[in-house]
Amino acid sequence: MQKNKLNTGITKFALGASMCAALVACGGGNSSNSGTSSPSVTTNGTAAVGSAIVGGTVSLKCASGATASATTAADGTYSVTLKSADYPCVAQVSGGQANGAALASALHSVASAPGTTNVTPLTDLIVGVLGNGNAAALDGATSSTLSSTITAENLASALTKVQTAIATLPGKLTIASGFNPLNSQFGVGDANDALLDQYAAALNAAGLTQADAVTHTAGGQELTLAAFSTTAFTTPYTSFSAGWSNNLDGKTVLSIPDPLRGALSAEVSADATTGNLTLVGTTPFTGIVSLLGNRVGTLCVSGKGQASNAQHSLYIYVSPDFTQVTDLAEIKSALLNNSWETYEDCTKDSITYTTTATGLIVTYSDGSSDAVADADFSEAGNVEARQTASGVAIGTSVARSRLYKYTDPNSRKTTYATVETSSDKDSTDLAYDPTKDLNNVILSISQ
């Protein structure tokens, strides 16, 4: 779920009849229960596809024969009341909207016990494994089938298959250790939440539907022919997992799941000798710089760039082969003792560094220069602390830099790369506009 899509956090519900004297008090859900002698319990969770599913109907059918349903709230949460003897249950969400669009198809999940049961594309994959490639297979299953299928052993095996499958998508997606998509609570903006956005972007880049992903995952097949992982940086100062892959059609595709701008992807061509990428077509990007076997690069879009440039740099990506340099002495030594090429708006330039009492001065080939304070290379002076409550002040520039290094295992040469993000809002417009405002990223490489 994207931060700007949800206005409230995930509501936490306690178990037990004390929370729900009547079903109507539990968020509008309704149920039909057998086993009325057992105590009432609550199942609740979040339905999301990268943003909240709003106004969707979550329906549960249980091994006892009981059913329950509820409508998802603005943050995707829902709650229903059942009996403790009703479980296990199969769940699905249908209808409603996500990110302003109607939900394309129903998504499935399972509740082996009371408590949290989320419904997302990742839980749909898990249920698809249980259904041998059909996520809807349990919808009409008998009570005995539900009881024999929804077991701890089967769920663990299905989760392992899902983890293996999504690791073959662009970005080599991973589920965090200790997090279970079925029953772990997640919050707006956290890493587990962001994984849904990354999955949506990667699936689109791979040219697969959710149904395709279910079939391939259940069959133990890869979702792409090859996958790569990278960290992408953009403005305002944010970073997220991105990547590229060779999809099942043999195309190489970049996947950029930007929390601010949505899911972007672009077809690229990989050089057989160098491994570096070039764009195929011009949508949504107008330029790319790909270096060191595509271990580092920058992407540009049309719009207002520096000087008279008709495009501007919007993303920098760095592969896991690079490690961040955090020691200030090493940072200054690397910058001062190497020659540098820089790429802004996907155009190559050269820069030099000189030291000052409070930091460094970077000088460009045209003679212009900028001061880089020591704080710009540390986590202490983060962008958020230098923004107003409503964001970067009008006309104010906020720049941040990080230094990374990569040592070639064959030549043993160490290459340094600086990642700089610079956000500068237009002096006449409060709204953030990446195509108009000077919100650039600058990549520099040691030679």
> pLDDT, tens digit, for every residue of 26-74?
334 555 554 456 789 999 999 999 889 999 999 999 999 999 999 999 9
Lowest-confidence segment of 88-97, 131-140, 160-169, 349-358 by average pLDDT: 349-358
Task: Render pLDDT for 294-315 as a digit per residue (tens, 0 to 9).
Answer: 999 999 988 766 656 678 888 9
pLDDT of residue 20: 33
pLDDT of residue 282: 77
Residues of the chain with CATH 2.60.40: 3-120
Lowest-confidence segment of 151-155, 336-340, 395-399 by average pLDDT: 395-399
Mean pLDDT (whole number) for 366-386: 61
pLDDT of residue 369: 83
- Taking CA 223 as the corner, what is the angle to CA 296 and CA 244, rounded to the nearest 5 degrees? 10
pLDDT of residue 338: 95
Mean pLDDT (whole number) for 90-113: 95
pLDDT of residue 50: 82
Does residue 280 or residue 360 have the better pLDDT?
Answer: 280
Mean residue pLDDT of the chain comes to: 83
Mean pLDDT (whole number) for 410-430: 77
pLDDT of residue 165: 97
pLDDT at 280 over 50: yes
Q: Which positions ≥6 away from 140 have C-beta within 8 Å? A: none
pLDDT of residue 31: 57
- Determine how many CB atoms are found less than 10 A away from the CB of residue 196: 23
Q: What is the CATH number of domain 3-120?
A: 2.60.40
Lowest-confidence segment of 94-98, 312-316, 411-415 by average pLDDT: 312-316
pLDDT of residue 189: 65
pLDDT at 325 over 70: yes
Q: Please, how many CA atoms are within 13 Å of residue 313, restricted to the half-sphere of its CB?
A: 28
DSSP states of 360-401 as a string?
EEEEETTS-EEEEEGGGGSSTT-GGGGSBTTBSPTT-EEEEE
pLDDT at 392 over 90: no
How many helices (DSSP H) and strands (DSSP E) are in the chain? 6, 27
Q: Is 159 helix (H, G, I), strand (E, B) or coil?
A: helix
* Alpha carbons 264 and 205: distance in angstroms, whole number: 8
In terms of Cβ atoms closer than 10 Å to its own Cβ (0-12, 13-18, 19+), residue 337 is exposed
Task: Render pLDDT for 221-232 as a digit per residue (tens, 0 to 9).
Answer: 999 999 999 999
pLDDT at 436 over 70: no
* Alpha carbons 292 and 417: distance in angstroms, whole number: 11
pLDDT of residue 362: 85
Q: Which amino acid is at 82?
A: L
Does residue 15 or residue 253 have the better pLDDT?
Answer: 253
In the chain, % of residues over pLDDT 70: 80
Which of 108, 59, 105 lies closest to 82 in space, CA to CA?
59
pLDDT of residue 383: 36
* b/e sequence 244-261, b meaning 16+ C-beta within 10 Å: bbbbbeebbbbbbbbbee
pLDDT at 8 over 80: no
Mean pLDDT (whole number) for 146-151: 97
Does residue 405 or residue 377 have the better pLDDT?
Answer: 405
Mean pLDDT (whole number) for 16-20: 32
pLDDT of residue 380: 38
Q: Highest-confidence range of 253-262, 331-340, 360-369, by mean pLDDT?
A: 331-340
pLDDT of residue 17: 31
Is the pTM here over 0.75, yes or no?
Answer: yes
